[in-house]
Amino acid sequence: MKTFCGRANPTTGALDWVEESEEYDYHQEIARSCYADMLHDHDRNKKYYQGIRAAVSRVKARGEKVIVLDIGTGTGLLSMMAVTAGADFCYAVEVFKPMAEAAQSIVEKNGFSDKIKIINKHSTDVTVGPDGDMQTRANILVTELFDTELIGEGALPSYEHAHQNLVQLGCEAVPHRATIYAQLVESELLWSWTQLQPVEVEGTHLVPPPSVGRCAGAHSVCDIQLSQVSPGSFTPLGPLCTMFSVDFSKPVSSAFQSHSSQFVVQSSGRAQVVLSWWDLDMDPSGSIVCTMAPSWTYPEPRMAPWRDHWMQSVYFLPVESRVTAGEELSLTVCHDDYSLWYSLQSHSQQDSHTRALPSRPCCTCQAHLVWTRPRFGELNDRQRTESFVSALRSVLREDSVCLGISDGSLLPVFAHMLGAKKVFGLENSRMSKQVIEQVLEANSLKGAVELLEIRPDQLCSNDLGGKQISVLMGEPYFSTSLLPWHSLFFWYCRTALAGLLLPNATILPCSATLHMLAVEFQDLWRIRAPCGTCEGFDVTPMDEMVQKSLDFRESLEAEPHPLWEYPCRALSDSAAVMTFDFTQCVPQQPVSSQGSLPFRRTGRCHGVALWMEYHLTTDITVSGGLIGPISEQGDCEWSRHRKQGIYFLRSPWEISGEGRAAVSYSFTFDPSLGDIRMDFSMESH
C-alpha cells in the first residue's frame, strides 16, 4: 500500500507531496543503521564472546541449567555465541520487527532454531511463566543496549526492569560492569562549539550576548570521534578520573544519582570541557575489557579498534573558570535515566552539605537551540569571518540596501558595521530572530538591522519600506540543510526575490560549485560493507535486508558525513563538476554535467566525496569541504563546520595504477525537485 506524504524540500523550500510505500520509514532506518559497523567491530565481538563463554562456564560449574536472556539481540549474534558456548536455551528479545525477522532467518540458517527463541517485543513487555514469552527466568543476562553516552538508549530502565522481572537473583551479566571516565581540559577548539566568541570588524569588537555566556547550553551530549581531535588542540588540567561504575549483575536503578571525583589540578588554565568515555568489563575479574578510549591513549594509536556505533563524549561545563596548578577540585557527574552532565567545584564547595547539585543543562538563551555545535564553530571561525567581511567590504557602498538570507546569521550585523545604509535580515523562525536581536542589543546596535520573520516568496516591497535591494547576501546556511547542495535554497530565495532587486544588484555569493573527489576510507567503509560471516556465524540474511533497504531508494543517493572525523585518502584530484550562477534565476530546465576524473593513486575506491564551494566574489571563496591541498600521499583536510556528501559504491573498485583508470560521472540538477541525481562508473584506459 502507498500513501501520500508531505515532506519539506530543504532545497526549494516547498512542501512536496510524494507517494511513499508504507515500508519507507523502516527501510530508511535500516539503510542508515549501524548494524554492519557493529558486526565489523571484531574487538567488540571477541570480547563479548570471551565474556559469554566465561559466564556460561561459571553457571555450569554451579550445576545449573544455563538459560540466557539476550536483550536487543539485533542479528542474534550474541545468542548464537551463548548456545555455541554451551547455553541450554536463549531468549533473544528484539523490538524492531524487520530486525527480529532477520534474526529469525539467521538463527535458522545457522541451525539454532531449537535453542534460540526470538521475541519481537520491547523487553519491558516480555512475560514469564508457563504461558509467557519465557518459560522461566534467565540466569545469564546478555545485553548490548549502549550508546556513546552509555545510558542514552535507555539501558538503565531496561536493566532495572530485567532484574525485577526477567532474571534470577544473582544472575551473571555480560557485560558484568561499565565504568565511566572523565578528564577536565582547556580547549579553544572545543569551547568554540558552545560559546560565541568576540569578533573584530573594522576595529570594533562584536561581543556575544551575556545571556549566551551565562547559559549552560544544550543538554544533549556532543558525541564525536575523539581520536580525530589532536591532543595538541586541548590541555589536560587534571588526571583521567574514574567517575562511577554500574554493576549489571546486580539490581540496577534508573533514578537520579551523582558521583564525584577529587583531584589536584596539574596545569593552570581555563576549565571548560570534560572529555569522557567508558569501558566494559565482560567478566567480574575485569580481565576481559572492551574500552572506548580514543586512539591517542594507546601506546600504539594504530592498534586502537575503530567503531562508529560507540564513540567518545564531550561535555561543556556550564561556565568556564580559572584553575591553578596544585588546587584541589572535585568533578561531579550527575545522571538521570538517559543522560549525563558534569559540574566542577572547589574542594571547600564539595564539603558543603548545603551545595545544590546542578540540574540537567537546559538552554535559557535560545542560541544553543538555534545554532548547532558545528554552527557555533563556523561562527567562531576567524578566517571564515574575515573572508565574508572582506567580500562585504568590497561590494558595499554608502547607499547600499542589504538583505541577508541565512538562518541565525551575523552577516547583516557585519553589513551594518561596514557602513551599509540600510540592512534587512530574513529569519526562518522567531527564535533565530530573537537570538540575532540579542546580539544587536549586546552591542548597542538595537534596531540597526531590521529582522523580518517572513518567507522569501512572501516578502513584498512594503516590508522593505519601498526600498529595492542592492546587495543580496547569504552564507548560505540553513538549519534544514542536510546535504551540501541543500544550501541551494539561497538560489531559490534569490529567484523569488528577483522583483525586489535593483537591476545591477550584487549577489553574494555570486556562484557556487559542486566538487567531487574519489576516496579510499580508512574505516568508514565498514558501515556499508556486507558482513557475510561474523565470528564464524553466517549473517548474510542481515546483509540482504540492508541491501534491500538500500535498493528501496537509497542506493543512488548520497548521505551526509563530517569527513574530518573519518580519515580518507584522495585517489583522484578534486574537481568542480557543476556550477550554479546565483546572479541568474534558477533555470526552468534540468542542468546536466558529465565527465571523467583520472585516478592518481592506487588503492580501494570506496566512494565519492562531494561538497560545495561558495564564491563570495570573483576572488574570495569559502569551502564546505576541502580546506587545504591534498598531500602527496592523498591525505585530506576537511572543514569541521559542514558535513560532506558521501556516495558509497556498492562494492569497492580496486585501482592498480596511475592513469590507467578514471571515475566517470554524470550529474543532473532538477530545478523542480531541487535535487541532484548522480551516477558513477569506472572506465579503464
pLDDT tens, 603-620?
999 999 999 999 999 999
The per-residue pLDDT for range 404-452, each reduced to its tens digit, is 999 999 999 999 999 999 999 999 899 999 999 999 999 999 999 999 9
Per residue, the 3-state secondary structure of 398-433, as one string, reads CCCEEEEECCCCCHHHHHHHCCCCEEEEECCCHHHH
φ/ψ (deg, to 5) at 581: -90, 105
Buried b (16+ CB within 10 A) or exposed e, 491-520: bbbbbbbeebbeeebbbbbbbbbbbbbbbb
The answer on pLDDT for 22 being more than 80 is no
CB 655 within 8 A of CB 599: yes
Catalytic residue among 23, 101, 153, 450: 153
Element (H, E) at 442: helix 430-442
> What confidence tens digit (pLDDT) does each residue in 238-257 have?
999 999 999 999 999 999 99
Write down the pLDDT at residue 34: 60
Output b/e per residue, 294-307; b: 16+ Cβ within 10 A. bbebeeeeeebbbb
Res 18: pLDDT: 53
Strand partners, 661: 684
CA distance 150 to 160: 15
The reported pLDDT for the residue numbered 9 is 85
Contact 313, 277 (CB under 8 A): yes
- If 0-12 CB within 10 Å is exposed, 13-18 middle and 19+ buried, where does residue 121 land? middle
Q: Using the 8-state DSSP alphabet, how is residue 331 labeled? A: E
Domain 381-507 adopts which CATH fold? Rossmann fold (3.40.50)
Q: Please tell me the pTM assigned to this model.
A: 0.94
Compute the distance between CA of residue 467 and CA of residue 493 in angstroms, rounded to an integer. Answer: 18
Domain 511-684 CATH (choose: 3.40.50.880, 3.30.1330.60, 2.40.10.10, 2.70.160.11): 2.70.160.11
Judged against a pLDDT cut of 80, whether residue 685 lies above it is answered with no
Read off the pLDDT of residues 267-281 as tens digits, 9 standing for 90 and up: 999 999 999 999 999
SS3 state at 158 = helix
Q: Report the topology of domain 34-144.
A: Rossmann fold (3.40.50)
- pLDDT band, residue 554 (cuts 50/70/90): very low
Whether residue 528 has pLDDT greater than 90: no
- Specify which residues 497 forms β-bridges with: none
Question: Does 657 have pLDDT greater than 90?
Answer: no
Q: Are 331 and 261 in contact (CB under 8 A)?
A: yes
178-351+358-366 sits in which CATH class? mainly beta
Cis status, amide bond into 10, omega within 30 of 0 = no
- pLDDT, one tens digit per residue, over 30-85 is 666 666 788 999 999 999 999 999 999 999 999 999 999 999 999 999 999 999 99
What residue segments make up the domains of the chain, in order of their start?
2-32, 34-144, 178-351+358-366, 381-507, 511-684
Residue 328 annotated in active site? no
Grid cell locating 168? 534470577
Identify the pLDDT of residue 421: 97
Domains 381-507 and 511-684 belong to one CATH topology: no
Residue 352: per-residue pLDDT: 53
The residue among 378 and 530 whose pLDDT is bigger is: 378
Cβ-contact 92, 140 below 8 angstroms: no
C-alpha span between 625 and 563 (Å, rounded): 8
Distance CA 279, CA 286 (A): 10
Catalytic residue list contains 22: no
Phi and psi, residue 203, nearest 5° = 80, 0
**Among the options 144, 186, 559, 613, which is catalytic?**
144
Quote the CA–CA distance of 655 and 661 in Å, as a whole number: 7
